[in-house]
Structure 1
Amino acid sequence: MTSKAHAFGAVLMLFLLCGTLCAQDATGPEVTLKGIMMWEISCVLKPTKADRDKKTMVLFAVEGPPEVAAALDAIMKEHWPGDSMNGTQARNLNEAFVKRLKYYITPGAIDPKQGRWGNPPMAVTGVISEKDGKKWITASKIVRTRLKYPDKMLAPDKPLKMPGKEPLILKVTDTLSLKCILLPRGEFLMAKPYYVDPRWQDEFPRHITLTKPFWLAEIPVTQEMYEAVMGNHPSTVKGPKLPVRNLPCADVNKFCQILSEKNGRKVRLPGEAEWEYAARVGTSNPPLEAKYKDQDSSSPGRGNLLPVKSKAPNAWGLYDMINDRVFEMTRDKFIVGIRIDSVDPYDSCEREEAAGRKHAHWGRNRVCYHEAVPSDGVKDDAEYGSMKFRVLVEATPEEVAEMEKGKG
């Protein structure tokens, strides 16, 4: 267990002790709610100092007594459009959870910094009440749990738009090449909704618009590709078809530069938003892990990686986007607390953002989890060493115009 997990467990124990004492004052039957538990400040668009001082915990319920099941059923009927959601529909669904299935947990005076990283699914047992238009549950017991989501949420993602038909063949050497898929411009709700497991405290769903199509490599760069270009590679687990890893950021940037010069195209790492958009095939459906088991390229053995294309691709033909143990690099810097909608976002390491303090985003390479790296090539090997990467090729003005004709 990590130190952060220990910290969350210690805080939860304090919460339980306090909850057991305070529950004696509550009246009414006890019920159990199951859902995602977090600090309220994590889901406030513009938190004030008063919000930071409150340190209130909330639960977004997914399972519970009949009234919870009825509310969830009504939300799904009203806000679930069918196969795929756009960003606006996903935001409306998330806000419906806020209005109808958000429960304030009392007591709630806990330091939010202690559990900032994780939002584990919890079963909260206690007495429900309402006050000032808010639902409350006075907790007598809180334990870890698993969540069962509606079947509609677990259906495979179906893209709202399909990629361009002809792939781009990016030359690596005279004998090696990378196939790149042309992805359409689009919009989506980035990061995980409040009700989705797993998620991080500092994730805040925000609407992202990508105004230009782009090409993305169908696979991560392999060891044989990287070695053919750079002369060697530092991966500790060897295999020509395994993704290359353990790379300094400067070397990754150099690799992209060489491919740019060889092909006469702009080759770079994808941005955080571009990567997630591609992983979610342009939809804003809830990124629940159960949907992606056939795409998960993680291995339980040494190295935690399988050869590329060992598992199924996503609906856009991209392989190995999902790995529960190995990060994938993105070019921009994750910013804690950023909660604004963005158009073509790119937050470099050098640029300060008023919305929050900067740090490198660490997380598993799930549908919403990737890893930001410094644009200046400076890194901490211990923090970034296990990452793989794939390349993005920027679309030319002619390709953008051609996609525009087809409304891509």
Structure 2
Amino acid sequence: MVCIEVPAMVGLAGGQVTLSDRRTRRSWSVEVADFSIGVYPVTRTQYAAATDPVPTAGDRGRSPAVDVSWWDVVRYCNILSERRGLQPAYQIDVDAEYASWDVTADGYRLPTEAEWEYACRAGTSGPRYGPIDDIAWYRGNSAGRCHAVGGKRPNPWGLFDMLGNVWNWCWDIYDAEVYGSYRVLRGGGWADEHWSCRASVRRRSHPTFAIDDVGFRIAGSAPAG
């Protein structure tokens, strides 16, 4: 059995965050409980070790796992949980397009949208936690490709690539009344203009969607020990 590396995580004390949506011109405040979140996006090596019986040489390295759908990601979270002896967070039926989250489970999961923005901001209030060229890979400096995780400056809470490099899948449905099962993406990616790489920017996509600038990071419901 291939040894599974658990992505590095950091525990965060909860607090309040205000989310906003440019499309609807709406804003709302959310109380965030204590949680833990990945220091980096999950890498190709980490993802392949959990999902491929025999990971190939091309899966090695610290490049973010991309071309992964939302369904791929929630399955990865459950596999990682099971292999580490934790209770899986999700009940999944892809054929029925159904997934539920057991909030009492101690397994790995996706961050909620509020957790993601709270972690991204790290106590800051501006559109970004630093100058964009210092903290993010985006269209202006990426040379048209994804880069290894951790290559730019972290935010004040030690989290890398919260903005730029790859978009992050979140647990939440974007707007069920308008977009059905579309899920939230956050953070901006290597192919995006600077204005997409801001803490408040929300994007949406179908949970089967997979492309080379969308990845993810894991979370947990309590601070990592």
Query: Normalization by structure 1: what TM-score?
Result: 0.41
Say whether 1:245 aligns with 2:66.
Answer: yes
C-alpha separation between the residues in 2 aligned to 1:269 and 1:362? 11
Q: 1:231: which partner in 2? A: 52
Say whether 1:187 aligns with 2:27.
Answer: no
Contact residue 168 and residue 216 of structure 2 kept, 8 A: yes
Aligned residues: 189
Structure 1 residues 226-246: Cα deviation after superposition (integer angstroms, max 9, x where no partner): 11111189xxx9761100101
Which one-letter code corresponds to 1:189 in the other structure?
T
Contact residue 170 and residue 186 of structure 2 kept, 8 A: no
3-state SS, counterpart of residue 227 of structure 1? helix
Query: Normalization by structure 2: what TM-score?
Result: 0.70
Say whether 1:310 aligns with 2:151.
Answer: yes
Unaligned runs of 5+ in 1: 1-172, 193-199, 336-351, 403-408
Contact residue 327 and residue 370 of structure 1 kept, 8 A: no
Which of 307, 310, 321 is the aligned partner of 2:162? 321
Which one-letter code corresponds to 1:261 in the other structure?
E
Deviation at 1:363, TM superposition (A): 6.9
Where in structure 2 are the equivalents of 1:322-337 lying within 5 Å?
A: 322-323=163-164, 326-335=166-175
Which of 166, 169, 177 is the aligned partner of 2:6? 177
C-alpha separation between the residues in 2 aligned to 1:249 and 1:259? 15
Structure 1 residues 250-309: Cα deviation after superposition (integer angstroms, max 9, x where no partner): 2211110011112323211111111111101144x1315864431113352242x21111
Q: 1:232 to 1:320 in 2, by over 3 A?
A: farther
Say whether 1:259 aligns with 2:77.
Answer: no
Deviation at 1:370, TM superposition (A): 5.1
Deviation at 1:202, TM superposition (A): 3.1
More helix by share: 1
Which one-letter code corresponds to 2:117 in the other structure?
E
Contact residue 17 and residue 114 of structure 2 kept, 8 A: no
Structure 1 residues 20-74: Cα deviation after superposition (integer angstroms, max 9, x where no partner): xxxxxxxxxxxxxxxxxxxxxxxxxxxxxxxxxxxxxxxxxxxxxxxxxxxxxxx
Say whether 1:368 aligns with 2:200.
Answer: yes
3-state SS, counterpart of residue 260 of structure 1? helix
Which one-letter code corresponds to 1:272 in the other structure?
E
Deviation at 1:332, TM superposition (A): 0.9
Deviation at 1:190, TM superposition (A): 1.5
Structure 1 residues 70-117: Cα deviation after superposition (integer angstroms, max 9, x where no partner): xxxxxxxxxxxxxxxxxxxxxxxxxxxxxxxxxxxxxxxxxxxxxxxx
Q: 1:175 to 1:258 in 2, by over 3 A?
A: closer
Contact residue 187 and residue 282 of structure 1 kept, 8 A: no
Q: 1:113: which partner in 2? A: none
Greater relative contact order, per chain length (Cα 8 Å cut-off, separation 6+) = 2
Where in structure 2 are the equivalents of 1:89-128 lying within 5 Å?
A: none
Say whether 1:301 aligns with 2:123.
Answer: no
Contact residue 81 and residue 107 of structure 2 kept, 8 A: yes
Which of 379, 395, 399 is the aligned partner of 2:208? 379
Q: 2:91: which partner in 1? A: none
Which of 94, 115, 118 is the aligned partner of 1:277? 118
Contact residue 222 and residue 241 of structure 1 kept, 8 A: yes
Contact residue 4 and residue 46 of structure 2 kept, 8 A: no
Where in structure 2 are the equivalents of 1:23-34 lying within 5 Å?
A: none
C-alpha separation between the residues in 2 aligned to 1:204 and 1:232? 45
Q: Which has the larger radius of gyration?
A: 1
C-alpha separation between the residues in 2 aligned to 1:331 and 1:357? 17
Contact residue 272 and residue 372 of structure 1 kept, 8 A: no
Which one-letter code corresponds to 2:118 in the other structure?
Y
Q: 1:218: which partner in 2? A: 39
Over the aligned positions, Cα root-mean-square deviation in angstroms equals 3.2
Deviation at 1:368, TM superposition (A): 2.1
Contact residue 328 and residue 371 of structure 1 kept, 8 A: no
Deviation at 1:201, TM superposition (A): 3.3
